[in-house]
Structure 1
Amino acid sequence: MISGVTIGQAAAFAGVTIKTIRHYHRLGLVDEPGRDGSGYRRYGSSDLLRLVQVRTLAESGVPLYEIGALLDADPQRFAAGLAEVNRRLTERIEELIARRDSLDRLAHSDRALLPDRACALLDRAADLGFTPQEVAAHREGMVLARALVPHGFDDYLTQAEHALDDTQFLALNKQCWAAKDLEPDDPRIEELATAVADRFLANPALLAISNGLQARTDATRYGLLNHHGEDQAPAMARLTALVETKLRSAGVDIPYQ
């Protein structure tokens, strides 16, 4: 007569579900025991031990498809197999920690996409009186520059630092933001474009921001960077176009869009 416990009792003793035991059977991890006179499968102590071993390895992170070979291996191969699983789990843990850190940085959106040096520039811009909307636009420009011209990004930040040191340029920059709601044909746009172009030409360190990007990219990426957001501000689009035209007239090499 076959002795042992039913599948329900085996599941309770092993700490798994009946569905899990049947899944183990399908994968060949646990042999199906014989049936008693009533047609019920009866699980003996060796079956329960195997169930507990499989469950423990699975809960420890061993993939189910590897468990059978591990349990059937000699002690040396078993230890080596566990060491390999340990290594993979460690890598996974490190990856999860990195993802968690990224989520933490997302709470401070600047630091999720930009290095500390760029974030310091954004903080400085805020301290210099730029509005949150203007700082956000600068942030978007930095993110684009880093993505489109990664090898030139440090130079871009260096020149941006120079720009924040130029009080006249900062004043003009704020005037440009104030002009975004003007009509594109407003004569003040032309006047402002002349002033901006003249300031670029008077301070080559400012102009190097544009030149440095052009040297590393093509016209398409240059346009994505320098004309970002203009579809929502026609006055800014005309202002940028006028400034570029005036700089070209002065001999500055700027790609045509």
Structure 2
Amino acid sequence: MSSGVTIGQAAAFVRVTVKTVRHYHKLGLVAEPERDGSGYRRYTPDDLLRLVQVRALAGAGVPLAEIAPLLDAEDEDFAETIGAVEQRLAAQIDELLARRETLRRLVDGNRALLPERAAALLERMPEHGFSVEDVELSRQGLILAKAMVPERFDDHLAAIEDALLDPDFVALSRLGAESATWARDDPRIPEFAQAMADHYLAHPQHLRIVTGMQARTDTTARYRVVRDFGSEEGTASERLLALVEAHLREAGVRIPR
């Protein structure tokens, strides 16, 4: 009677697939038994032990390329390698936990790509009379601003928070949101642009909403990406913004072109 077990039995005992056992053979992790008189490869207890060891190390995160020398290593080298694997696994666990937290934050769109401070600001906007559409546009604009000029984003938020405490600024901002529905040649636009520029010039802390988004590198390009969001060419919003910037430049405020 032939001793040992077949490859199918060996795979079942070790709780891997036959394909995995053959892959271990191909990599040289486990020696491939010779065929017996019946033409079957028979796996001895030593072969099964080696398979169990390989499977355990692979399951623990040890790269397959490191397993063969590890099994033949001295105790000290084995412990050192296992320690390195443990560190890698700990880093992977931290990354997975961070990903899980991001997924949870995605349930709340405001908190997925923005800090708590920005999310809180957006949540307060309806209290100032801004519509759901206004809040969503602001959310998207803040996400873009944070990505384009991250080093200035906190200052940008601080300026907006301060400005929202001013009823005059809130009224102008609401009118600005409404102006998006106007025709580009609406006669109210020049007067409104002048009023907005005058407010900024009279309140330098609010002016930082505009000037604070000037990055240290690629200043003009980054500024224009944020500036052009929500104000497509040929619209009332684009004309209004251009006029406000023109008034500010005339007053000596540095605005990228």
**Structure 1 residues 250, 78: closer, same or farther in 2, change over 3 A?**
closer
Q: Tell me, in whole angstroms, the C-alpha distance in 1 between the residues paired with 2:85 and 2:256.
A: 54
Number of residue equivalences: 256
Amino acid at match of 2:101: D
Aligned partners of 2:29 and 2:68 also within 8 Å: yes
Post-superposition CA distance 1:99-155 (Å, at most 9, x none): 111111111122221111112211222222211211122222222222222222221
Amino acid at match of 2:176: C
Question: Where does 1:16-31 land on structure 2 (aligned, <5 Å)?
Answer: 16-31=16-31
- Residue 234 of structure 1 aligns with which residue? 235
Q: Tell me, in whole angstroms, the C-alpha distance in 1 between the residues paired with 2:91 and 2:113.
A: 23
Question: Where does 1:1-257 land on structure 2 (aligned, <5 Å)?
Answer: 3-214=3-214, 216=216, 218-231=219-232, 234-256=235-257
Q: Tell me, in whole angstroms, the C-alpha distance in 2 between the residues paired with 1:133 and 1:160.
A: 18
Q: Tell me, in whole angstroms, the C-alpha distance in 1 between the residues paired with 2:61 and 2:139.
A: 41
Aligned partners of 2:152 and 2:215 also within 8 Å: no
Q: Tell me, in whole angstroms, the C-alpha distance in 2 between the residues paired with 1:255 and 1:83.
A: 53
The 3-state SS of whatever aligns with 2:170 is helix
Q: Tell me, in whole angstroms, the C-alpha distance in 2 between the residues paired with 1:12 and 1:222.
A: 62
TM-score normalised by structure 2 residue count: 0.92
Amino acid at match of 1:75: D
CA drift of 1:215 comes to 7.2
CA drift of 1:2 comes to 5.7
Aligned partners of 1:181 and 1:233 also within 8 Å: no
The farther-off stretch of 109-118 and 95-104 is 109-118
Aligned partners of 2:144 and 2:226 also within 8 Å: yes
Q: Tell me, in whole angstroms, the C-alpha distance in 1 between the residues paired with 2:5 and 2:120.
A: 68
**Structure 1 residues 251, 56: closer, same or farther in 2, change over 3 A?**
closer
CA RMSD of aligned residues (A): 1.9
The farther-off stretch of 32-41 and 178-187 is 32-41
Which stretches of structure 1, 4 residues or longer, exceed 4 Å deviation after superposition?
none
Q: Tell me, in whole angstroms, the C-alpha distance in 2 between the residues paired with 1:45 and 1:58.
A: 20
Q: Tell me, in whole angstroms, the C-alpha distance in 2 between the residues paired with 1:192 and 1:149.
A: 28
The 3-state SS of whatever aligns with 2:159 is helix
**Structure 1 residues 7, 253: closer, same or farther in 2, change over 3 A?**
closer
Q: Tell me, in whole angstroms, the C-alpha distance in 1 between the residues paired with 2:178 and 2:234.
A: 11
TM-score normalised by structure 1 residue count: 0.92
Q: Tell me, in whole angstroms, the C-alpha distance in 2 between the residues paired with 1:159 and 1:133.
A: 22
CA drift of 1:254 comes to 2.1
**Structure 1 residues 233, 162: closer, same or farther in 2, change over 3 A?**
farther
Q: Tell me, in whole angstroms, the C-alpha distance in 1 between the residues paired with 2:216 and 2:163.
A: 20
* Structure 2, unaligned runs of 5 or more: none
The farther-off stretch of 120-129 and 155-164 is 120-129
Aligned partners of 1:180 and 1:233 also within 8 Å: no
Q: Tell me, in whole angstroms, the C-alpha distance in 1 between the residues paired with 2:206 and 2:216.
A: 17
